[in-house]
Structure 1
Protein backbone atom coordinates (compact mmCIF):
# COMPACT_ATOMS: atom_id res chain seq x y z
CA UNK A 1 0.00 0.00 0.00
CA UNK A 2 2.92 2.34 0.63
CA UNK A 3 4.16 2.02 -2.94
CA UNK A 4 0.69 2.96 -4.29
CA UNK A 5 0.76 6.10 -2.16
CA UNK A 6 4.21 7.02 -3.44
CA UNK A 7 3.07 6.43 -7.02
CA UNK A 8 0.07 8.71 -6.46
CA UNK A 9 2.34 11.38 -4.98
CA UNK A 10 4.69 11.17 -7.98
CA UNK A 11 1.75 11.43 -10.36
CA UNK A 12 0.34 14.45 -8.55
CA UNK A 13 3.75 16.13 -8.51
CA UNK A 14 4.14 15.54 -12.26
CA UNK A 15 0.68 16.97 -13.00
CA UNK A 16 1.33 20.03 -10.81
CA UNK A 17 4.62 20.69 -12.58
CA UNK A 18 2.89 20.40 -15.98
CA UNK A 19 0.24 22.90 -14.87
CA UNK A 20 3.00 25.45 -14.23
CA UNK A 21 3.98 25.50 -17.91
CA UNK A 22 2.61 28.56 -19.73
CA UNK A 23 0.99 26.49 -22.49
CA UNK A 24 -1.03 24.59 -19.89
CA UNK A 25 -2.43 27.69 -18.17
CA UNK A 26 -5.29 27.94 -20.66
CA UNK A 27 -8.15 25.51 -21.00
CA UNK A 28 -7.63 23.41 -24.12
CA UNK A 29 -11.35 23.48 -24.86
CA UNK A 30 -12.40 27.12 -24.38
CA UNK A 31 -8.90 28.70 -24.42
CA UNK A 32 -9.96 30.92 -21.54
CA UNK A 33 -7.71 32.49 -18.95
CA UNK A 34 -10.63 33.94 -17.01
CA UNK A 35 -11.71 30.60 -15.53
CA UNK A 36 -10.09 30.98 -12.16
CA UNK A 37 -7.88 29.24 -11.10
CA UNK A 38 -7.33 27.99 -14.64
CA UNK A 39 -7.36 24.39 -15.84
CA UNK A 40 -7.74 22.05 -12.88
CA UNK A 41 -8.84 18.84 -14.55
CA UNK A 42 -7.04 16.36 -16.76
CA UNK A 43 -8.97 14.93 -19.68
CA UNK A 44 -7.65 11.38 -19.65
CA UNK A 45 -8.96 10.69 -23.17
CA UNK A 46 -6.70 13.32 -24.75
CA UNK A 47 -4.28 13.99 -21.84
CA UNK A 48 -5.07 17.69 -21.79
CA UNK A 49 -6.03 20.20 -19.11
CA UNK A 50 -9.52 21.70 -18.94
CA UNK A 51 -11.21 24.30 -16.72
CA UNK A 52 -14.02 23.56 -14.30
CA UNK A 53 -16.64 24.86 -16.75
CA UNK A 54 -15.48 22.62 -19.59
CA UNK A 55 -14.96 19.60 -17.35
CA UNK A 56 -18.74 19.13 -17.13
CA UNK A 57 -19.39 19.28 -20.87
CA UNK A 58 -20.29 15.95 -22.40
Structure 2
Protein backbone atom coordinates (compact mmCIF):
# COMPACT_ATOMS: atom_id res chain seq x y z
CA UNK A 1 0.00 0.00 0.00
CA UNK A 2 1.48 3.32 -1.06
CA UNK A 3 1.79 6.22 1.41
CA UNK A 4 1.07 9.58 -0.25
CA UNK A 5 1.57 12.00 2.64
CA UNK A 6 1.86 12.23 6.40
CA UNK A 7 1.84 14.94 9.03
CA UNK A 8 0.46 16.24 12.29
CA UNK A 9 -2.61 18.38 12.98
CA UNK A 10 -3.30 19.73 16.47
CA UNK A 11 -1.19 17.00 18.05
CA UNK A 12 -2.72 14.17 16.02
CA UNK A 13 -0.56 12.29 13.55
CA UNK A 14 -2.15 11.45 10.19
CA UNK A 15 -1.22 9.50 7.09
CA UNK A 16 -2.76 9.48 3.59
CA UNK A 17 -2.51 6.12 1.86
CA UNK A 18 -3.52 4.59 -1.43
CA UNK A 19 -7.22 3.66 -1.68
CA UNK A 20 -7.57 -0.11 -2.04
CA UNK A 21 -10.62 -1.79 -3.58
CA UNK A 22 -12.68 -3.93 -1.22
CA UNK A 23 -15.37 -3.77 1.42
CA UNK A 24 -15.15 -1.55 4.48
CA UNK A 25 -15.16 -2.91 8.01
CA UNK A 26 -18.89 -2.25 8.54
CA UNK A 27 -19.77 -4.28 5.45
CA UNK A 28 -17.38 -7.07 6.49
CA UNK A 29 -18.88 -7.28 9.98
CA UNK A 30 -22.44 -7.25 8.64
CA UNK A 31 -21.67 -10.05 6.18
CA UNK A 32 -19.37 -12.30 8.23
CA UNK A 33 -19.87 -11.28 11.86
CA UNK A 34 -17.17 -10.43 14.42
CA UNK A 35 -13.49 -10.73 13.53
CA UNK A 36 -11.40 -13.35 15.29
CA UNK A 37 -8.34 -12.27 17.30
CA UNK A 38 -5.93 -13.47 14.55
CA UNK A 39 -7.88 -11.46 11.95
CA UNK A 40 -7.67 -8.33 14.09
CA UNK A 41 -4.00 -8.67 14.92
CA UNK A 42 -2.88 -10.22 11.61
CA UNK A 43 0.89 -10.29 11.31
CA UNK A 44 1.35 -7.01 13.19
CA UNK A 45 2.86 -6.66 16.64
CA UNK A 46 0.57 -5.12 19.30
CA UNK A 47 1.20 -1.44 19.87
CA UNK A 48 -0.39 0.85 22.48
CA UNK A 49 -0.65 3.60 19.84
CA UNK A 50 -4.23 4.61 19.02
CA UNK A 51 -4.99 5.43 15.39
CA UNK A 52 -8.02 6.17 13.26
CA UNK A 53 -8.35 5.22 9.61
CA UNK A 54 -10.85 7.25 7.61
CA UNK A 55 -12.25 6.45 4.17
CA UNK A 56 -13.15 9.07 1.55
CA UNK A 57 -16.81 8.16 2.17
CA UNK A 58 -16.50 9.16 5.83
CA UNK A 59 -16.20 5.74 7.42
CA UNK A 60 -13.48 5.18 10.01
CA UNK A 61 -11.80 2.53 12.11
CA UNK A 62 -10.27 3.40 15.50
CA UNK A 63 -7.62 1.08 16.89
Place the TM-score, normalised by the shorter chain, in its bin. Answer: under 0.3
Query: Radius of gyration: which is bigger?
Result: 2
Asked which structure has the greater RCO (Cα within 8 Å, sep 6+), the reply is 1
Superposition TM-score, scaled by structure 1 size: 0.26
Larger relative helix fraction: 1
